[in-house]
Amino acid sequence: MADALPVVIVAVTVIAALIAVVTLASSGRSYDQIGRGGLSLRDGSDRPAGEPAPSGAVAARQRDEEIRQMLEARNERRRRRGLEPVDVEAELRALDRPAIDPALEAEVRALVVARNERRARRGQEPLDVDAEVARQLRDLGGA
């Protein structure tokens, strides 16, 4: 019986290895399908696969509506705690206003000052620095 133990161990190991190879070969792309069941988000969104992505205006309106709902829920929690509610529309406008990076504003201001110096050398009227900085940042989408 002791002589048969090494033979049984080798036989079981060889059979298990063969089964593993056959399973691996027949699995195809099963590994790629992990997490892709009926409840998965597929492409990272929760809309059905055939539904097109909303356009820019529609997406912005949906985003604003969702933000408004969250702000109203926060106001409701504030009311329950006995605190004053905040103005939802003012908060939405403040959140919608993009933050301007101070380094970007300083760089734009330096460019406007340099442009004014060039204009002065050419005999042209200088630009209003603050107004031009605001316009440049607005054109860049920063304000």
pLDDT tens across the length of the chain (143 residues): 778 899 999 999 999 999 999 988 888 777 777 777 767 665 555 555 556 666 778 888 888 899 899 999 999 999 999 999 888 888 888 887 777 888 888 999 999 999 999 999 999 998 899 999 888 888 877 55
**Listed residue (143, 122, 121) closest to 132, CA to CA:** 143
* pLDDT at residue 62 in the model: 87
| CA atoms of 115 and 105, how far apart (whole Å) | 15
Q: How many angstroms separate the CA atoms of 109 and 41, rounded?
A: 45
3 state SS of 1: coil
pLDDT at 112: 93
For residue 6, give the amino acid letter: P
- In this predicted structure, what is the pLDDT of residue 32? 73
The set of residues, in sequence order, having a beta carbon less than 8 Å from that of 132 and lying 6+ positions away, is 112, 115
Question: Cα-Cα-Cα-Cα dihedral of 62, 68, 73, 75, to 10°?
Answer: 180
Enter the pTM of the model: 0.40
* Largest pairwise CA distance in the chain: 109
Query: What does the alpha-carbon distance between residue 46 and residue 52 come to, in Å, rounded to a whole number?
Result: 12
